[in-house]
Structure 1
Amino acid sequence: MGTGTPTALPGPLVGDVDESQLLAALTPLLPASPYQLVGNGDDGAVLAAPDGRYVVSTDVLVEGRHFRTDWSTPEQVGRRAAVQNLADVMGMGARPTALVVSLVLPATTPLSWVQGLARGLGRACRRAGAGVVGGDLSSGDAVVIAVTVHGDLEGRAPVLRSGARPGDLLVHAGDIGTSRAGLALLSSSTVPQPLPADGAARHCVERFLSPEPPLDAGPALAAAGASAMMDVSDSLVRDCGRVAAASGVVIDLDEPAQGGARSRLAAALAALEPVAALAGEADPAAAARSWVLTGGEDHGLLATVAPGTGLPEGVSVIGRVRPLGEGPLAAPGVLVGSRPWAGPLGWDHFGA
């Protein structure tokens, strides 16, 4: 993976300008927040909080760990940095309002690369109705992007992981397994490059490089009365396990390989199986099933709702919530097709 110097681009390097010049090159590319009372230029931003509360979350991208500059354009890296934070606010049922962004940059980073990063981040924020209200700059050995995001609950209660109730339906919005498929394609030595400009394979690669969370689904499900909710960043199985543990219940996911024509997980598996074959997987069906259940970084939305709840567009039922002791699990955990899950859980930030 990259080791501290983004792909060479023409023009000056970060080391050729001072901090004020770097800020002057980036600030016009970033939107203001509609909640912003005092923004860039002072020691801190001041934001209005009409609800009296605000959601806050933070995330970090490290070059070589979370992105590669030989795979991603700077615009894709910037968008990824924004949306993975915006998705956390969505997962609480709030609307994003403002981001604070800190950058660590090697002196050899092309200034045009950093401007591309700012453009991608700014476009994602504008689409979400949020602004960039401050941050920090530092030099270092590799590119690091740290983002803190704020969100407005708009008068609603926050939707926590701990509210799932036995009898609830498990629902999902957004991509499932697509990002993991894109990583497999980029990592495969047998996939012809470049990929066609359209088709399932290209879609998977683009979603890995630049996820598309269903940002409106969080507030919509919160307004519909969702009992629990979270952003799916690590995998369906792992994040279902987090909801189960927080709520003291068992989550029973549909079995992707046995779903009918209306099953969201079965449809995801069917779409990914030819991609797995292209990626050179020995058993494409098994690989696709694994991507659906344990693939990470799609940043979809996982929620639980009472039966009969009107679901917003793009939200599908993918399982149900069971009480402890009803079935094979006596402790909080995850079933897949009513069977205990014993396979890998997906992405682990400190795993091998």
Structure 2
Amino acid sequence: MPDSIADLGEFGLIDALTARFPQSPPVTVGPGDDAAVVGAGDGRVVVTTDLLVEGRHFRRDWSAAYDVGRKAAAQNLSDVAAMGARPTAITFGLGAPAELEAAWVLELADGLRDECAQVGASVAGGDVVGADSIVVAITALGDLDGRDPVLRSGARPGDVLAVCGRLGWAEAGLHVLGRGFRTPRVLVDAHRRPEVPYDAGPEAADLGATALCDVSDGLLADAGHLAAASEVAIDVESGALEITGAMRDVANATGADPLRWVLTGGDDNALLATFPPDVGLTARWQVIGRVLAGSGVVVDGEPYGGDGGHAHFT
């Protein structure tokens, strides 16, 4: 194996990458042509794109290439699930310095492949280009399987706000890494690689969710997206939010506020939905608030001080 991607060359790198990506239905044309062909039995295709930039979204001294690949795929696949759809395929673009180790790129590809495998999706193609730093761009595709998409704009006063998945874990892990530590491992791993409840998206649609999104920027920020799109207010109940023992231990040791991690931390990619109050939710959905007439997001009936979550360019 050549040491760097420059040693491997553009087409050698492409060959090494595509050899790692088995194709499964609905991909009928995979890597090797000018474009892939991905079927959608529903007749409608859900499409989303996201970017990860070294130094902003990941650090190589904190995350292995495999973890970066898993995270990059997860952030896009979760957006497909957040429409109530089933992920089917991704394509990826990679910008990287010529001296980057070839093994790092192939490990990244393994992470992409393995995250996609969790939902039966394929890595259907992509592109590579020289760049000053590492940039990973993912486009994910999905199939609604006959469902209507669940948008951010359908929440109504009287609905309940519920979450499926973890909140604040990734932010707590980032806090640990930022202080030079590597434990508790469960929190550090949550920052490196989210655990997304992919099947909860279609489940929410089948249960009658009125609005749906994933939590990538922070609970309050993403609840704010639902509130703005639906022209309603949302009241988050802090007492309904889970703060794990590991998070409390880190917070006690460092003087941090664990509730802030849960309210404003991103990158866990939990799914956040509103439901009519009479819907019988499965146990995996935790009711954490309610939808009201008005606008904006409050916590326990009061405005929350400080940032509501991550925002680019600020």
Asked if Structure 1 and Structure 2 have the same fold, meaning a TM-score greater than 0.5 normalized by the shorter chain, the answer is yes
Q: CA RMSD in A?
A: 1.4
- Give the Cα separation in 1 of the matches to 2:277 and 2:200: 18
For residues 244-302 of structure 1, the C-alpha deviation after alignment (integer angstroms, 9 at most, x for no partner) is 111011101002xxx2xxx3x0x326652212223x22xx4xx1011111111111100
Contact 1:100 1:148 in 2 (8 A): yes
Structure 2 gaps of 5+ residues are none
- Give the Cα separation in 2 of the matches to 1:313 and 1:59: 31
Quote how far apart the aligned CAs of 1:33 are.
3.9
Aligned to 2:188: 205
Aligned to 2:215: 232
**TM-score normalised over the length of structure 2:** 0.96
Aligned to 1:6: none
SS in 1 for 2:63: coil
Aligned to 2:60: 69
- Give the Cα separation in 2 of the matches to 1:346 and 1:101: 27
Structure 1 33/146 Cα, relative in aligned 2: closer, same or farther at 3 Å? farther
Contact 1:31 1:125 in 2 (8 A): no
Is 2:210 the partner of 1:219?
Answer: no
1:288 aligns with one of 234, 250, 258: 258
Structure 1 271/253 Cα, relative in aligned 2: closer, same or farther at 3 Å? farther
2:131 aligns with one of 134, 140, 143: 140
For residues 152-195 of structure 1, the C-alpha deviation after alignment (integer angstroms, 9 at most, x for no partner) is 00100000000001100100011110000000000014x4xx53
1:322 aligns with one of 292, 296, 306: 292
2:175 aligns with one of 179, 184, 190: 184
SS in 2 for 1:274: helix
SS in 1 for 2:243: helix
Aligned to 2:251: 276
**What is the identity, as a one-letter code, of the residue corresponding to 2:187?**
C
- Give the Cα separation in 1 of the matches to 2:283 and 2:38: 32
**TM-score normalised over the length of structure 1:** 0.86
Contact 1:59 1:147 in 2 (8 A): yes
**What is the identity, as a one-letter code, of the residue corresponding to 1:314?**
R
1:124 aligns with one of 108, 115, 136: 115
Contact 1:254 1:337 in 2 (8 A): yes
Aligned to 1:40: 31
- Give the Cα separation in 2 of the matches to 1:59 and 1:183: 20
1:80 aligns with one of 71, 81, 95: 71
For residues 40-62 of structure 1, the C-alpha deviation after alignment (integer angstroms, 9 at most, x for no partner) is 11111111111010110000011
- Give the Cα separation in 1 of the matches to 2:282 and 2:134: 38
- Give the Cα separation in 2 of the matches to 1:30 and 1:71: 26
Is 2:217 the partner of 1:254?
Answer: no
Aligned to 1:245: 228
**Aligned ranges 1:17-56 → 2 under 5 Å:** 17-56=8-47
- Give the Cα separation in 1 of the matches to 2:39 and 2:262: 40
More displaced stretch, 49-58 vs 11-20: 11-20
Quote how far apart the aligned CAs of 1:308 are.
2.4
SS in 2 for 1:83: helix
- Give the Cα separation in 1 of the matches to 2:290 and 2:246: 23
Contact 2:187 2:246 in 1 (8 A): no
- Following TM superposition, where does structure 1 have runs of at least 4 consecutive aligned residues deviating by more than 4 angstroms? none
Aligned to 2:297: 334
Contact 1:94 1:218 in 2 (8 A): yes
SS in 1 for 2:47: strand
- Give the Cα separation in 2 of the matches to 1:311 and 1:43: 45
